Every structure is written in structure tokens, then in C-alpha cells.
Structure 1
Amino acid sequence: MISFLRCFATAGTLLVLPACSSSGTDAPPPAISSMHWAADGVAIQATTVTVSAPRPSDGRLTIAGERGTGADARAITMQLPSQEGTYDLALPSPPAPLVFYTEGSAGTRIAYAPKAGSITVSSFSATNISGTFRFTGSTSPLASPDKEITSGAFTVYR
């Protein structure tokens, strides 16, 4: 009887082991791009973040973060140089990155362009780009009220 139980236990162990072993072919989960910012103190976490291939003309990348739909839609779109650095948004584009913050949807969209602020690209590689941003945006040079974009950060994988 004991011999039978040992054989049964051994066979059961052999059946379980293959299910627990790793073949070494499991790929890590894909990295998830992220972007967040605050608009006039209200925190916004993008639910969709995209990055384009570099433009052939100047190598700039377009990174966009979006959240919501319709009147609740919020987005940041940036055209960045393909290198690390801190960029003054008060300068004309180029050399400064082109950046917009938008609220609303087509037909009711309000776009805010920066009149002061900066973007820092802290890491730029073949696989990912990350950095921070802040700016004061307006709908036109003389329009008010301004929109304060603070605590902005992005990490995108390509």
C-alpha cells in the first residue's frame, strides 16, 4: 500500500511540475505610455497617449495625451525636438517646441498656446522619451483668462 502511495505521489508531482515551470519565452508586458498635468489646479491623467515617428523635415516628434470626450475632452499636444534639453516656450517655434492645451470637442474646442513656460526632455532614447512641462497658455496674446498648466509629466514608449 505504501509503495502504491509513493508511486501515486511521484506521478502527481511529475504532472504538476511542467505546469509550474517556465520555458523562458514569456515576454514582459509592454510598457505603457503616460501623461498627466494640472489645468488651473485640476489634475488630469491622460487615458490615451501617442507618439509619432520623427518628421523627416526636422526630426521632431509629436506626443499627445488625451482624456475624455465631447465637452469634457482635454488634451496636450507637443512637437518636440529629438533630443534631451530644456526648451523655453516663450520663444517662437522653432526653435521652441510647439505645444497646445485644448478643452472641448470639434466645434467647441478652445486651444491655449503657451506664452510662458518650459518643457524639459530629461530622457530620449530609441525606445522611450520622458520629461516634464509647465506653461501659461492663452487663446490669443491679449485674451484672458489664461490657463495655468502645471505639474506636467510624460513618459512615452515607441
Structure 2
Amino acid sequence: MISFRTLSYRAATVVALASVSACSSSSAPGADPTPARGLAWTVDGAAMSTTTVQSQTGSNTVSVAGTVTNGSTSNYLSLEMPNAVGTYTFSSTARASATYSTNSGTTNAVYYAGALPSSSGQNTIGAGTIVVTALTATNVTGTFTFTGIGPAGASKSITNGTFNVGL
């Protein structure tokens, strides 16, 4: 026969083990967490995120795009980057670029950063970086930040960008 004292001890042991298990973490201290599934960024102090994304791979590039709709305003962001893990700073030689656009129904503004076609007379517009941290046959993960140039030289600063997208 098991005594009340033995049952109390066993119950206390189970509770203690459950508490330790609930407080443990699967990531190492200081490790960067994997971004949430989807595409997220901050523009003009407003955080935007979407899990409805489009992605496409080519032999040399990966493209990721998503749209966020807030009331009558639609915000669209697209990224194009080389099909490899690495850090890509926008330049005339890097195949990395980004586009942000906002459409309020009556006004549409497009902000672009990256290499331009040689016919434009410019090599690069805006500035920014895309970091591809992981790339498999089925997923791409990374971060981005850029300043896009738009109508009449206006600019938009896109910060805190993350992507974790199926391919």
C-alpha cells in the first residue's frame, strides 16, 4: 500500500519536472530566432506583415512579394535576390532589388531600390541590403532593409524586414 506521504512526494516531483520543462527553451542564448512564416517590415513607423505571399525561383534568382491591405490602402513589397545564401547590398553589379508601393485608390506611389537597366542612365537607385540566411529547395529565410526612391525624388525607408517563405 502506498502512503499519503509517498503520493505527495511523487506529485511534487511531477510538478517540479513539469515546471522545468515549461521554462526551457529550444534555442541557444543569443541565437537569432527564425522569423515568423511570411513577409514583414516597418514603413513610416507602421509595422506590416502578411502570410499571403508569392515566391518564385529561377536558375539565378529568388523573388518574394506580398501585399497588406488596410482599409482602402494597399501596400505591396517585393524583393529580388540571387538564388544563394549571402548578403546582397544593392549596387550596379548585384542582382538584388526591392520595390515598395502604396495605393490609396486615387494615388499610387512606387519606391524602388537596386540596380536599374542601363537604358535608364543610372546604375543604382536607393540603397539597401537583403540577407539570405537560409535557402533550401522548398524555403527561403532572411532579412532586409532599404530606402526606395519614388515620385519626384521622394523616398520611403523600409526597416526591420524579415521573410520566411515557401518556394
Please say whether Structure 1 and Structure 2 have the same fold, judged by a TM-score greater than 0.5.
Answer: yes
SS in 1 for 2:153: coil
Unmatched segments (≥5 aa) in structure 1: 1-31
Q: What is the CA–CA distance in structure 2 between the aligned matches of 1:83 and 1:66, rounded to whole Å?
A: 24
Give 1:143's aligned residue.
153
Decide which structure has the larger Cα Rg and report it: 1
TM-score, with length taken from structure 1: 0.67
SS of residue paired to 1:73: strand
Asked if residue 132 in structure 1 is aligned to residue 143 in structure 2, the reply is yes
Deviates more, 1:98-107 or 1:122-131: 98-107
Question: How many Å separate the matches in 1 of 2:51 and 2:106?
Answer: 22
Is 1:118 aligned to residue 119 of structure 2?
no
Supply the AA of the counterpart residue of 1:155. N
Match of 1:4 in 2: none
**Is the CA contact (8 Å cut-off) linking 2:102 and 2:110 kept in structure 1?**
yes
Contact 2:72 2:105 in 1 (8 A): no
Match of 1:44 in 2: 48
Q: Which runs of 5+ in 2 are unaligned?
A: 1-35, 114-125
2:17 corresponding residue in structure 1 = none
Q: Alpha-carbon deviations, 1:86-138, whole Å to 9, x = none?
A: 1112x12x523121011016873211012112110000111210000011111
Aligned twin of 1:76: 77
- Whether the 8 Å contact between 2:98 and 2:146 is mirrored in structure 1 is no
Report the equivalent of 1:109: 108
Q: Deviations over 1:60-92 (max 9, x none)?
A: 121101111784111111111110111112x12
Question: Contact (CA 8 Å) 1:47, 1:66: kept in 2 or not?
Answer: no
Partner residue of 1:63? 64
Structure 1 stretches of 4+ with a deviation exceeding 2 A read 105-109
Compute the RMSD of aligned alpha carbons.
2.2
- 2:89 match: 88
Are the counterparts in 1 of residues 81 and 88 from structure 2 also a CA contact under 8 Å?
no
- Equivalent-residue separation in structure 1 for 2:49 and 2:143 (angstroms): 14
